[in-house]
A = this chain, B = another copy of it.
Amino acid sequence: MKRETTEIRQEQIKRAVLDIIFKDGLDQLSTRNLAKRVGITEGAIFRHFKSKRDIMLGIMQDVKSDLIGELRHIALGAEGSEKRLFTFLCRHVKYLLENKGITILLFSEAAHMNDKELKDNLHEILSEQKSLISKIIKDGMAEGLWNKKLDGDDIATIYMGIPITLNIELILNPDKFNINNFCKRMFILMQRMLSK
């Protein structure tokens, strides 16, 4: 009967959620399995989170503060647009690789769309990413770097597909998919799309 503080348990539980999702699949994400993975009983889970839904909200909150926080910092930074776009993309990819269950969790929430708060959170996360990308692109156009006639939103749409596709490949093709320099390779294609 090892005891830990709620703070520690909460982190362990959120970690376990992502771990289960990526390694065992979404259907294995029950409070039973979650408890087993953390090494406590099911009841203890509810000592640290008032509901399963609350765990999900907590994870989304982490994404907002960790990932979005960093991405915002990059996008609004002082570097040139080209550098910012590259750093942004690489940071984004890195985060997804370090938190492999995140994408599935987010999109499963989109698919189970009966919870307004969860859906709003996801919407906020994605639209913020998109608008940060749009910002970088607009800056790059103003700098005279990229073609001004392009629609920034369309570019952002294409951009958003990259991390999602990455995650799907990671699930379906964990061995075969070439992850080396992934962000660099994608960046080059984005650059070509944007060029004058």
Contacts and interface: CB of A to CB of B under 8 A. Distances in A.
A80 to B, nearest CB: 21
A43 interface: no
Contact of A108 (B24, B108, B153, B178): B108
A25 to B, nearest CB: 4
A128 to B, nearest CB: 13
Interface residues of A, number: 42
Interface of A: 21, 24-28, 104, 107-108, 110-114, 119, 122-123, 126, 150-151, 153-155, 157-158, 160-162, 164-165, 168-169, 171-173, 178, 185-186, 189, 192-193, 195
Contacts of A168: 107, 110, 126, 160, 164
Contacts of A195: 192
Contact of A193 (B162, B172, B193): B193
Nearest to A164: B164
16 contacts: A25-B111, A25-B113, A28-B114, A108-B111, A110-B171, A113-B171, A126-B168, A154-B186, A157-B169, A157-B186, A158-B158, A161-B162, A164-B165, A192-B192, A192-B193, A192-B195
